[in-house]
Structures are given as C-alpha cells and as structure tokens.
A and B are shown apart, each in its own frame.
Chain A
Amino acid sequence: MELPRYETLLVDADAGVLTVTLNRPDVLNAVNEQLSADLLDALRLAEREPAVRCLVLTGAGRGFCSGQDLRDRAGVGEVAYGESLRRRYNPIVLRLRTMEKPVIAAVNGVAAGAGCNLALAADLRVASDRATFIEVFARIGLIPDSGGTYHLPRLVGLAKAFELAYTAEPVDAAEALRIGLVNRVVPHDDLMPATLALARRLAEGPTRGYGLTKRGFNFALGATLEATLAYEADLQTIAGRTADHREGVTAFFEKRPPRFEGR
C-alpha cells in the first residue's frame, strides 16, 4: 500500500494496522485547517483500503490533541464556528464512527476540546497514565462540539457529562478509567506497544463482522428495541454470508484457531 505524505500527520502501516499520528507537537497537535484536511484524507484512505483492518489514532509529543487551533483564523470567530464544524470536524467524526473497521485512540497526553471529542469518537481508547481529558469549551463559553454532546453522556452518563462539560476541569487517566471514559490505562512508555498489540489482534479479526457490529451499535443508539432487533436480523444475514463466518465455523469444528481474512 502506497502511503501518502502529509504536512501535519505521520502515517504508518504495519500488519493490517494503519497508525495515524497527529504531528504538530509544538502546539500539542492543535487542529488547523491543514490538519483537519489531512486527517479527513487519511481517514478516507483507512476506510477505502482493504489492507487496513484497524486504525490507530495518536498524537506526537506531549499531547494527543489540544483541539481547534485558536491561532488559525479559519476555525475561530462567531461566524466561523458553524461553518468550520460542518465542513471540517463533522465529516471527521462521522467517518470515525461509520468506518466499518475498529478505531482505537491511543491517548498519549492532553486531549482537550475537539481533541478530547475526537478521542471519544473512536471505538476504543487506550490511555497513557499521563493522559488528561478536558471538555474545555465552557472556559470560552462554547459547547462540546465534534460529537461531544453525543458521545460524552453515552460514555459516562448524563450527570457526569454535565459535570465535565460545566466545570471544564481536567480528568486524569485513573479517573477516566473509573468513569468509563477510556478502556485501559497503561504506563506511558507502554502506550504504543500495548495499543499496537491490541490493534494487531483486532486486525486479524473478522473485519466485516466487526464493521457490521459497529453499524449495529450506531443504529441501536438511535432506535427502539423492536427496530434494533429487525436491524440485527438484516446484519446477521449479511454477516452469515462472509467468508470469515465460514472460516470461523470450519475452524471451530477442526478445533483450530480461525484465519480470518476480513471478508
């Protein structure tokens, strides 16, 4: 797979895992116009490329992502916010959520504002013990955008979501784990090895089945039980036709581990 070069990202592909590293370490990987365009492009690549079976999103340097770059005029100002979200951030969040492959955020440091909410839009979060999460918006009178109002209450419950959004206080890694904001916390130096081990395992999994699982969760978050059950029946019909399903059943009867190919 030919990997593109980006001004604001590092990308690396290995063993079915595409690792995308936000790479503006001097500004804690703040999102400027270029970075949002690069990230959307990289997400399209990850979605389109069959060799990519798991996506890891992380940050270079001390921070994961400090959110909108307030020095970048394109995204700041009373008129610019709505337009900037619709054009730049919303497509990124939607793509993370609808891409039918596992997405893991490896949160290496501060994740603030839109940066925090990008991490929340991933399927799974592995955090360094130095990671902090800040819904910083209230400090400047704004609301948790980039999917924050959607994901935050679903992850931590409404009461905790209000607390984090209203106080805009940092949540450290241990607290994030306790309230269900992240899946795991690991010592800082273990972050990438631990995340990549998980990512490689998922990249060897039944990618279509994972993708359909994600589609099912997305649907169920906005639907009734009755509609969800009907939807599950459709998804299972599709999953039942995959080569990986046949391989899984065959491997079960042959008492060996399955070799999934992601189709």
Chain B
Amino acid sequence: MTYANILIEHDDAIAVVILNRPKVLNALNRATMDEVVTALEALDHDDAVRCIVLTGSERAFAAGADINEFAAATPVEMLAGYRFQQWERIRQIAKPVIAAVRGFALGGGCELAMLCDMIVAGEGARFGQPEINLGLMPGAGGTQRLTRAVGKARAMEIILTGRQVTAAEAYAMGLITRVVPDEVVVETAKDIARQIAAKAPVAVRLAKDAVLAAFDTTLEVGLDYERKLFYLLFATEDRQEGVRAFLEKRPAAFRGR
C-alpha cells in the first residue's frame, strides 16, 4: 500500500507512522485521516510489528483539522463526513500506539495524540483545543479524553479559553509521559516502543485493554475484567517462558503465544 499523506518506517518490531504534510502543519484532512486509520489497522494485523509510534514533523504533530474542508459544511454534511466515526477506529487498535509530538498538537492534532496510548513530547510542543476561537468546540474526543487525562478544572480552562499548553505544563498535568529535547522525541518514543516490543505481546495487548477499560467502567467491573484477563494470561506459552527465564536468570524470548 502506498500513501500520499503519510510515511511508514519499520525498525525491527517498531513501526513509525509519520504524518507528512509539513507545509500545512499536518492539517488532518479526510484523506490523511483515511490513510492513518488504514495504516494503523494494517500494522495492527502485521505480526512483525509489536508497537507503533505515530509522529508528525518538526514544526507540528498536527495543527488541527483542515479548516478549508469544513468551512462551508452543513451539519448534515458533517454528520455524513469523515470526522468522528472514523477516528474512533483508532481506539480499536490492539497494539500500543505512542504519539511522539514535536511542535503543535492543536485541535484535531491534540485529539489524535490523546487517542494514542501515551504521548512523548519535545520541549517546544504545544497542546491545545482552540476550536472555541472559531466558534466551535472539540469534536473528535477532546472534551472527553482531555477531561479524563487532566481532570475537569484544567480541561475546562483549556477548552473554554482555547489557550495553548506548553509541554512542561502538559507533563505536570499528566497529559504526557515524557518531555525531552525536540531533537530526540522520536527516538525517545522508539526507545519506549522497543522496551514494550520486548514484552510478551499477548500480555501487552490485554494490559492495554484493561487500562482502557478503566475509563469506561465502574471500579468493580474494571477489577473483575482485569482479574479475568490476568487469569487468561496463565494459558499462554509466553507466561511459562517468562517465568522460566526469570528463574534461569536469562532474558525471556516471547513469541506471542
């Protein structure tokens, strides 16, 4: 599959998906999002890939939706259009997806980063939901995911003022996991990806699933879900290999079974 708006690089078990429309700060038009979703789903089904990094370019992860595309849209066109349903397919990706953010992650760009499982950012990164400045509001998960990530009060301030949040602030709020110099963002994300790729794939998948369930369920249901997934892992070969390797003081060779 060849793509026009994104690039894909492979490095052992890591796949890096690069938004590649730097001239428009990676504005997320329909074609680009189609490719992102298609690529992520393909990588999710590729057994050679164990962890995915999603990144943009130097100046922007993604500076938002492509305003030209919906400037003249009617509500019915928006409803029939690409935005919301398709983005949620990213949520179904079973492998971990790490966002590596340099520059702007605004509006749809911030929402795309928050759809990932974790965010690594450069010091110059800026997060925000500026839709309010255009008489709009976040429409691809911003009000829900930002609120879950940083709490009501901070989400309100960010969404209602439309202001930009620095990487240091985003880190302090718990929106992102790491802040590093801009020049080493992608390799830091790949380094985390490599650590994850060395773990047992089934355990990684179920652990991701359980963490995501924490947002959707009561504690009681979530704990029950967690326990069942935990028991399920006892049926895997990798669990036996992991325990054996630990006792034999050698690194485990996980095979995803």
The residues of A with any CB-CB pair to B shorter than 8 Å are 215, 231, 234-235, 237-238
Q: Tell me if B180 is interfacial: C-beta within 8 Å of chain A.
A: yes
**Given A234-B180, A235-B181, 10 further pairs, Cβ under 8 A:** A215-B181, A231-B181, A234-B181, A234-B184, A234-B188, A237-B183, A237-B184, A238-B181, A238-B183, A238-B184
Q: Return chain B residues, CB-CB under 8 Å to A215.
A: 181
Total CB contacts across the A-B interface at under 8 A: 12
CA of A215 to CA of B182 in the docked complex: distance in angstroms? 12
- A selection of 12 A-B contacts at a CB cut-off of 8 Å is A215-B181, A231-B181, A234-B180, A234-B181, A234-B184, A234-B188, A235-B181, A237-B183, A237-B184, A238-B181, A238-B183, A238-B184
Q: Return chain A residues, CB-CB under 8 Å to B188.
A: 234
Residue of B nearest to A218 (CB): B123
Residue of B nearest to A235 (CB): B181
The 5 A-B pairs of least Cβ separation, nearest first, read A238-B183, A234-B181, A234-B184, A234-B180, A237-B184
CA of A237 to CA of B183 in the docked complex: distance in angstroms? 9
Describe B's contact surface by its main secondary structure.
helix
Residue of A nearest to B181 (CB): A234
Shortest CB-to-CB span from B100 to chain A, Å, is 14
Q: Return chain B residues, CB-CB under 8 Å to A234.
A: 180-181, 184, 188
Q: Mark B149-170, 1 if CB is under 8 A from A, else 0.
A: 0000000000000000000000
Shortest CB-to-CB span from B252 to chain A, Å, is 27
Residue of A nearest to B185 (CB): A234
Q: Return chain B residues, CB-CB under 8 Å to A231.
A: 181
CA of A262 to CA of B212 in the docked complex: distance in angstroms? 47
Q: Return chain A residues, CB-CB under 8 Å to B181.
A: 215, 231, 234-235, 238
CA of A125 to CA of B105 in the docked complex: distance in angstroms? 38
CA of A197 to CA of B12 in the docked complex: distance in angstroms? 51
Shortest CB-to-CB span from B190 to chain A, Å, is 13
CA of A76 to CA of B184 in the docked complex: distance in angstroms? 43
CA of A234 to CA of B180 in the docked complex: distance in angstroms? 7
Shortest CB-to-CB span from A232 to chain B, Å, is 11
Q: Return chain B residues, CB-CB under 8 Å to A235.
A: 181
CA of A235 to CA of B184 in the docked complex: distance in angstroms? 9
Residue of B nearest to A238 (CB): B183
Q: Return chain A residues, CB-CB under 8 Å to B180.
A: 234
Q: Mark B36-58, 1 if CB is under 8 A from A, else 0.
A: 00000000000000000000000
Shortest CB-to-CB span from B139 to chain A, Å, is 31
Residue of A nearest to B188 (CB): A234
Q: Mark B123-136, 1 if CB is under 8 A from A, else 0.
A: 00000000000000
CA of A21 to CA of B160 in the docked complex: distance in angstroms? 42
